[in-house]
Amino acid sequence: MKAIYPGSFDPFTNGHLDIVERALKVVDGVVIAVLNNSSKKSLLNIDQRIELIGEVLHNYGNRIEVKSFTGLLVDFCRTQKTHVVIRGLRAVSDFDYEHAIFLMNRKMYPEFETLFFMSSSENSFISSTIIKEVASLGGKVTDQVPEAVNRKLLEIYPGKNPV
């Protein structure tokens, strides 16, 4: 069974990596679906995000595909011929939002299912927003993002984010 892991991934963090690696123990393949939302200001453009995720996950070969999507997630699911989505839950605070989008997606696509993976405790405080803020202010994020992502952040904020 193939599942879709959708998100903004701006940037891809160790929290995302943990969810993908655990999902691969449950499903045969994962399509990482990177939301291409031109109205949302992002640090990394869509090509940079796709390239970084591909680099981080290259060891998994054809069990991982990285694609961009626009529009509704349920429409993208249909084009990929799957009705299963993966999402991570970090804390109770994630639940309300995830519950609402799950119910709405199911309304539009009755077969739709979400597999929720609880974040590991060491990743439960990581968010892309916090990573961007810390990196931009010169803080160290080496323990929270894959090496390739850290390299990209150092390129964007040169000399500030210590290795």
User: What are the residues binding ligand PNS (CB under 6 A)?
Assistant: 6-8, 35, 72-73, 101, 104-105
Instruction: Say if residues 20 and 117 touch (Cβ distance below 8 Å).
Output: no
Cβ neighbours of 79 (radius 10 Å): 9
Closest CA to 67 of 58, 76, 75: 76
Closest CA to 70 of 43, 39, 26: 39
Out of 83, 87, 90, 152, pick the active-site residue.
Answer: 90
Q: Would you call 22 a catalytic residue per the annotation?
A: no
Out of 16, 49, 83, 132, pick the active-site residue.
Answer: 16
| Minimum distance, C-beta of residue 141 to ligand PNS, in the bound complex (Å) | 17
Q: Would you call 99 a catalytic residue per the annotation?
A: no
Instruction: Say if residues 114 and 98 touch (Cβ distance below 8 Å).
Output: yes
Which residue's CB is nearer to ligand PNS, number 8 or number 142? 8
Instruction: Say if residues 86 and 4 touch (Cβ distance below 8 Å).
Output: yes
| Minimum distance, C-beta of residue 160 to ligand PNS, in the bound complex (Å) | 25
| Minimum distance, C-beta of residue 34 to ligand PNS, in the bound complex (Å) | 8
**Dihedral angle sign, alpha carbons of residues 68, 102, 117, 16:** positive
Residue number with the shortest CB distance to ligand PNS? 7
21/52 Cα distance (integer angstroms): 16
| Minimum distance, C-beta of residue 143 to ligand PNS, in the bound complex (Å) | 21
Which residue's CB is nearer to ligand PNS, number 63 or number 78? 78
Q: Would you call 16 a catalytic residue per the annotation?
A: yes
Q: Would you call 2 a catalytic residue per the annotation?
A: no
Which residue's CB is nearer to ligand PNS, number 62 or number 93? 93
Q: So which residues are the catalytic ones? A: 16, 40, 90, 128
